Amino acid sequence: MRLALIALLAPFSLPAAALADAPKGTIKGTILFEGEPPERATLDRKSDPWCKQAETSLADDVVVTKGKLAGVLVRVANGSAGTHAAPATPAVLDQRGCAYTPHVVGLVAGQKLAVRNSDGTVHNVHARAAGKDVLNKMQGVKAADLPVDTATAKPGDVLELSCGVHPWMRAYAVVQDHPYFAVTGTDGAFAITGLAPGSYTLEAWHPTLGAKSMPIKIGTGPKASITARFSYKP
């Protein structure tokens, strides 16, 4: 009984020594877009009065702000960072202003994905994995979050989401076998923490601009923190 209790409490009360030994490797960096970014098309959203009044009306395929690229998933290569359990809480894709927010989301294999409707209009959530439908459902105003079936999603898979009502809506859920990933915001910045010392491949992925990779090395002490930078071009 006592042993069982200790086992139950263990994840929440790590001894100080264990915390001090936790891997401290950190990769921080920026995703740049060099040169003239593609012009963001103005979306024609008058088919839906709710969407028409929403603030964002520019296409979100490629979002560059002052030379920084948003919506890039940066990760350590799958298969190189140990075995990790999926977080118990689902990743959330919100539909807000008739756009999926965020445009790109990361998942750990086995983690659930929930699609939310924060809009005052109806969406049709269409999710595909490897070209096959995993969800195709209407979601009304104030409806409960829709669960996307991620049970068969493997590390490296990308689930594509679209909306049958609003053809401009797109989102991508990218699956990893570890939690060492981050998605850039409009400042193009990312930070990945908690890596053990070692040599890794760092990968960047953008839905339309593609993938890039570079070797990196996490050391100890001052060499545990490194910076990395990827550049995309027109």
d(CA 58, CA 40): 6
* Smallest separation (angstroms) from Cu ion to the CB of 73: 23
Residue in the shown chain whose Cβ atom is closest to Cu ion: 163
Q: Angle 33-38-40 (CA atoms, 0-180°, nearest 5)?
A: 115
115 binds Cu ion per the rule CB under 5 A: no
165 binds Cu ion per the rule CB under 5 A: yes
Peptide bond before residue 102 is cis, with ω within 30 degrees of 0: yes
Which residue, 31 or 125, is less far from Cu ion as judged by CB?
Answer: 125
Report the residue from 68, 103, 166, 178 that binds Cu ion according to the rule CB under 5 A: 166
163 binds Cu ion per the rule CB under 5 A: yes
Q: Which residues of 220-230 are buried (b: 16+ CB within 10 A; e: fewer)?
A: eeeebebebeb
Which residue, 24 or 128, is less far from Cu ion as judged by CB?
Answer: 128
H-assigned helices in the chain:
2-9, 16-21, 49-53
Which residue, 78 or 95, is less far from Cu ion as judged by CB?
Answer: 95
Phi-psi label, residue 179: left if phi above 0, alpha if psi -120 to 50, beta otherwise: alpha
* CA pseudo-torsion sign 114, 115, 120, 123: negative
Residues within window 121-140 making contact with Cu ion, judged by CB under 5 A: 123
Q: What string marks each residue from 169 to 188 as x (binds Cu ion by CB under 5 A) or -?
A: x-------------------
Which residue, 70 or 115, is less far from Cu ion as judged by CB?
Answer: 115
Number of residues lying near Cu ion (CB under 5 A): 5
Instruction: Give the binding site for Cu ion (CB under 5 A).
Output: 123, 163, 165-166, 169
